[in-house]
Amino acid sequence: MAKVKKAPRPKAITPKGFRDYFGAEVSERSEMLQKIAGVYHRYGFDALESSAVETVEALGKFLPDVDRPNEGVFAWQESDDDGNGDWMALRYDLTAPLARVYAQHRNDLPTPYRRYAMGPVWRNEKPGPGRYRQFYQCDADTVGTSSMAADAEICAMLSDTLETVGIPRGDYLVRVNNRKVLNGVLEAMGLPEGEGARDNVLRTIDKFDKVGEAGVRELLTKGRLDASGAFIDGVGLSDDQAEPVIAFLTSKAADVAKTFENLRGAVGTSVIGAEGIAELEQIADLLAAGGYGADRIEIDPSVVRGLGYYTGPVYEAELTFEIFDEKGRKRQFGSVAGGGRYDDLVKRFTGQAVPATGVSIGVDRLLAALREKGRLGGRVEGPVVVTVMDRDRMADYQSMVAELRNAGIRAEVYLGNPKNFGNQLKYADRRGSPIAVIEGGDEKENGVVQIKDLILGAKIAQSATHEEWKERPSQFEVPRDQLVAKVREILEGQDG
């Protein structure tokens, strides 16, 4: 009889494009999200948790990888008797679910509806360095008002959020632009609606931060050689047609009044362009009234990311401090949040235009920025470890750990083999434990416990002389009923 083949063991590897997050990273993210939620709550926004799964129909046009069209989401078909069940997908952002929620529950929601949402999203895209298929987003949106006060509020809230999580004033800028101004520029160029030329111009404008004014001018006209020496075809516009785009992208001046003057020159007689400039002026006035100067939020027409998606004001939070890249070169950290006005999203469900505006914070990038600033990534404090000197006295040790926990102190009992006490201290060190509690037979008989300050002990071991070692003991003997008080005293001293 042939031997039954054993099933191969599964490989213990993380799926491609995903990663695992351990204690410190999860704690840092949770703490940051809690601070952000506090700011949003203070501004009057309500929390919303929508389903992680939506119908593909509800998600609408998603964001496929350019090399893998129509595969931008993780989707599957529900089975039914006819084999024609709905297609379902993991959400790729938090905005499309908001449109569905608002359309579905609009009669029960206030208008305008302010909501914030935080959670993972999934994109079925090719992974790369720092680019994962699952990542966290943190959004805030206002649905149901066309007032520029809503856009100004989002910008102010974004500024407050960055400062609250630890990005100091001077290390960031919230920059504001308007899609309507760009539409006015396209009109001034004589480009008709709905033709490929507009899309080509938009794609070229999107490269402004990479190739600069001269590069955009070349790409709009005859083309240019890139850094590798390859020739990139241009859009084919004349120099005169390209000029309004260049004027638009370079219109930012030292003061905002001059910026608006330059923008009026770029849009010429376009009505939609003038409307966009007026909206930017309203936002600037509202922010100034709230005390948000150009050192925090500024009008900047060079913000072009996402202009193809948004219908009005757009904003981007950029961190301005310098970091070193993997090759040791200085560069600015860059964008950590972006958003704008999207007045057509809910219309897919209702048939009626519903104005909306919102912002999305890149949680992982913001965490990386805080680490660069030294605000995160320090020593993570583990639990107080109650060691086990006698396995028959586990009830005593459990009693100690319960007292510590009831006093609000993070604590645990060592659950490994208690034979080797050195291994227990090695475990405490690996856990990042600040304190070890020791009660052997002699201590039990005398009604005392030993409390070892592991942080101080490590410092003494590294730098102290023998005399200093004697003068600065890191282990204390206290009566059993003073366990909690002494542990708290040591912890407070470590924090200081």
Q: Is the pLDDT of residue 378 over 60?
A: no
CA 175 to chain CA mean position, Å = 18
Q: Which residue has the tokens 């208690």?
A: 418
Q: Is the pLDDT of residue 221 over 90?
A: no
SS3 content of the chain, % helix, strand, coil (to 5): 40, 20, 35
Q: Is the pLDDT of residue 463 over 70?
A: no
Domain covering 169-314: architecture? 2-Layer Sandwich (3.30)
166-180: b or e for each residue (b if 16 or more CB lie within 10 Å)?
A: bbeeeebbbbbbbbb
Contact 272, 180 (CB under 8 A): yes
Fold match between domain 169-314 and domain 384-495: no
Which two three-digit tokens encode residue 453? 């300050």
Residue 68 is given by DSSP the state B
494 is in an annotated binding site: no
Helical H segments across 356-496, by residue range = 363-372, 394-406, 421-430, 441-446, 454-463, 466-471, 483-495
Residue 189 is given by DSSP the state H
pLDDT in tens, 58-94: 887 654 444 444 568 898 888 776 667 788 899 999 9
Q: Is the pLDDT of residue 436 over 50?
A: yes
What residues contact 86, with CB distance under 8 A and at least 6 apart?
55, 56, 57, 77, 78
Contact 365, 336 (CB under 8 A): yes
What is the residue extent of each domain of the chain?
16-146+343-380, 169-314, 384-495
141 is in an annotated binding site: yes
CB burial of residue 158 (10 Å; 0-12, 13-18, 19+): buried
Stretch 21-38: mean pLDDT: 92
| CA distance linking residue 324 with residue 336, whole number of Å | 17
| CA distance linking residue 164 with residue 31, whole number of Å | 12
Q: Is the pLDDT of residue 158 over 70?
A: yes
pLDDT band at 205 (very low <50, low <70, confident <90, very high): confident
Q: Compute the Cα dihedral for 167, 173, 179, 180 and give only its sign.
A: positive
427 is in an annotated binding site: no
User: Which range (4-13, 312-321, 435-444, 479-488) has the least confidence?
Assistant: 4-13
Residue 5 is given by DSSP the state P
Which two three-digit tokens encode residue 418? 């208690």
In sequence order, what DSSP letters do the residues of 87-148 get, joined into one string? EEEE-S-SHHHHHHHHHHHTTTS-SSEEEEEEEEEE-----BTTB-SEEEEEEEEEES---H
What percent of the chain shows pLDDT beyond 90?
55
pLDDT at position 326 is 62
Q: pTM of the predicted model, to two decimals?
A: 0.83
| CA distance linking residue 34 with residue 100, whole number of Å | 26
pLDDT at position 288 is 95
Average pLDDT score over the chain: 87
Domain covering 384-495: architecture? 3-Layer(aba) Sandwich (3.40)
Stretch 267-274: mean pLDDT: 93
Q: What's phi and psi for 359, nearest 5 deg?
A: -135, 150
| CA distance linking residue 311 with residue 430, whole number of Å | 53
Q: Which residue has the tokens 């920025």?
A: 369
pLDDT at position 16 is 92
* Three-state DSSP state, 61: coil
CA of 329: how far to CAs of 322, 336, 438, in Å? Answer: 10, 20, 51
pLDDT at position 195 is 59
Question: What is the assigned CATH class of domain 16-146+343-380?
Answer: alpha beta
pLDDT at position 469 is 44
Residue 416 is given by DSSP the state S
pLDDT at position 165 is 94
Q: Compute the Cα dihedral for 462, 466, 471, 477 and give only its sign.
A: positive
User: Which range (285-294, 328-337, 477-486) has the least confidence?
Assistant: 328-337
95 is in an annotated binding site: yes
pLDDT in tens, 273-326: 999 999 999 999 999 999 999 999 999 998 887 767 789 999 999 998 877 666
pLDDT band at 220 (very low <50, low <70, confident <90, very high): confident
Stretch 25-34: mean pLDDT: 92
40 is in an annotated binding site: no
pLDDT at position 384 is 96
pLDDT band at 228 (very low <50, low <70, confident <90, very high): confident
pLDDT in tens, 111-154: 999 999 999 999 988 887 778 899 999 999 999 999 999 999 99
93 is in an annotated binding site: yes
282 is in an annotated binding site: no
pLDDT band at 11 (very low <50, low <70, confident <90, very high): very high
